[in-house]
Amino acid sequence: MTGAPMDRLLFGDNQFFGINHMSEEKARAQALQFRDTAAILAVLDAAYDEGLRTFMCTTHDRIGAICDHVRANPGRYEGFRFYPCMPYAHKYANAVTDHGMVGAALHFMPGDGILKTALKGGMSLARKDVEGLATILVDMEMKMFRGLETPVIFLQNVVVDLLLGMGMTDAFRIFHDYVREKYQAEPGFITMNLPMLLDTLDAAGIENPIICANINKIGFRVSGGVEACMETIATRRVRAIAMSVLASGAIPPREALEWIAAQENISAIVFGASSRKNIRDTKAIVDGLRA
């Protein structure tokens, strides 16, 4: 899978879990709309039928049920790919509350070779071995995706930007190498600061990385501003994925999509939608401008 081209449009999952950075009211309405897994599957089916084949998703507990459904219906989802984004921090906090520290660890560890994994974890804790702990966490997060296509695996911005701020360059290399070696996948990084992350990955020897960041016409949550971000993408080796392209609803959809689709150096666009019509309209705009 390594080196496989990305689709131009990736389907995201924020809308399924009540995440909206502009409106709490809209977030609550979406959380209510998708309280049942069947409602999520209906929208994913609509996306698939409209030609979208890549689902960029968090490792939220409910994604496990989506994975189970796709595994159980391989004919329906031929060519369907997941781009896992890890970790989903709330999941671990809730598990520790419910099961305690040891119980939470056992709950998330992969079923195969659990004793070996647990021993490895104990040794890592004793030695403060960052590499050992990091690889266990990746395995824990990937457990739900067993047997499914995961050609790109992302490290979430909550971790990426923390590591970035602490100057822990080695951690990026550990994640990069483990994802490639263990899962035969491309490592991806989500960040709120694309230029700074790219400098850091370059220093770690990670060439032409996949980086997902906020990129939109008005500069909503774009660190350093739109011009600096676009100049970096245009002049450096990076496969950029644009997220938050609608600026959480601050830009009219057509205006936002036409702008982002016209940016030649953007490798892919991730978007969320709650209906077949919105999915179809988004795809038509982007496809029309890229024809």
Give the DSSP letter string of 50-116. Answer: TT--EEEEE--TTHHHHHHHHHH-TTTTTT-EEEEEE--HHHHHHHHHHHHHHHHHHHHS-STTHHH
CB-based contact 212:189 (threshold 8 Å): yes
Residue whose C-alpha is closest to residue 137's, from 104, 185, 184: 104
Task: Please state the rounded mean pLDDT for residues 103-108.
Answer: 54
pLDDT greater than 70 at residue 93: no
Give the CATH H-level superfamily of domain 9-290. NADP-dependent oxidoreductase domain (3.20.20.100)
Extract the tokens encoding 103.
Answer: 């119980």
pLDDT greater than 60 at residue 283: yes
**pLDDT grade for 126, boundaries at 50, 70 and 90:** very low
Q: What is the pLDDT of residue 152?
A: 98
**Torsion of Cα atoms, 220 then 199 then 142 then 177, to 10°:** 170
Task: Please state the rounded mean pLDDT for residues 97-103.
Answer: 57
Residue 40, classed as helix, strand or coil, is: helix
Query: Which pTM was predicted?
Result: 0.85
Lowest mean pLDDT among 15-29, 129-143, 171-185: 15-29
**What is the sign of the dihedral through the CA atoms of 222, 175, 182 and 89?**
negative
Task: Please state the rounded mean pLDDT for residues 107-132.
Answer: 53
**pLDDT grade for 232, boundaries at 50, 70 and 90:** very high
Domain coordinates in residue numbering, the chain: 9-290
Residue whose C-alpha is closest to residue 83's, from 59, 56, 60: 56
Please, what is the average pLDDT of the chain?
85
Higher pLDDT, 130 or 144: 144
Q: What percent of the chain clears pLDDT 90, i.e. is strictly above it?
A: 64
CB-based contact 290:284 (threshold 8 Å): no
Lowest mean pLDDT among 28-42, 139-153, 182-196: 28-42
